[in-house]
């Protein structure tokens, strides 16, 4: 054995064979094969019941496609929906107008003195 071959073998380089290489297509599809069962469980346990109940919400008691259920929901919860939208709009506007005051306070010396003490 020559010196160069001994050195190559000492650092882990093998002249004889390079080991078996995996097919390129197998390494590309392996992550999808491993994730597939988890995705199917999520689809079966969550997405299917959601879609089934969403579809059934459009069917009236007589078995006809209609918006009767949504009409009843809107009639019962109209004021709750409007109240929620009003609170959200008020909070958003309040934060929009208070943000410059907060930024001014944050860069002021009073803020720094309060942090130190």
- The whole-number pLDDT of residue 107 equals 75
For 74, residues 6+ apart whose C-beta sits below 8 A from its C-beta are 81
For 14, residues 6+ apart whose C-beta sits below 8 A from its C-beta are 8
What sign has the CA pseudo-torsion 26, 32, 35, 41?
negative
- Statement: the pTM of the whole predicted model exceeds 0.75: no
- The whole-number pLDDT of residue 22 equals 57
Series of mean pLDDT values for 10-residue runs along the chain (117 residues) = 54 55 72 94 94 94 92 93 97 92 77 64
């Amino acid at each position: 054995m020559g010196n160069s071959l001994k050195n190559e073998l000492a650092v882990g380089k093998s002249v004889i064979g390079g080991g078996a290489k995996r097919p390129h297509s197998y390494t590309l599809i392996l992550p999808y094969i491993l994730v597939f069962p988890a995705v199917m469980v999520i689809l079966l346990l969550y997405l299917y019941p959601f879609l089934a109940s969403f579809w059934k919400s459009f069917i009236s008691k007589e078995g006809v496609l209609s918006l009767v259920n949504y009409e009843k929901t809107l009639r019962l919860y109209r004021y709750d929906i409007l109240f929620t939208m009003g609170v959200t709009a008020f909070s958003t506007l309040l934060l929009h107008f208070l943000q410059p005051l907060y930024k001014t306070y944050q860069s002021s010396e009073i803020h720094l003195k309060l942090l130190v003490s």
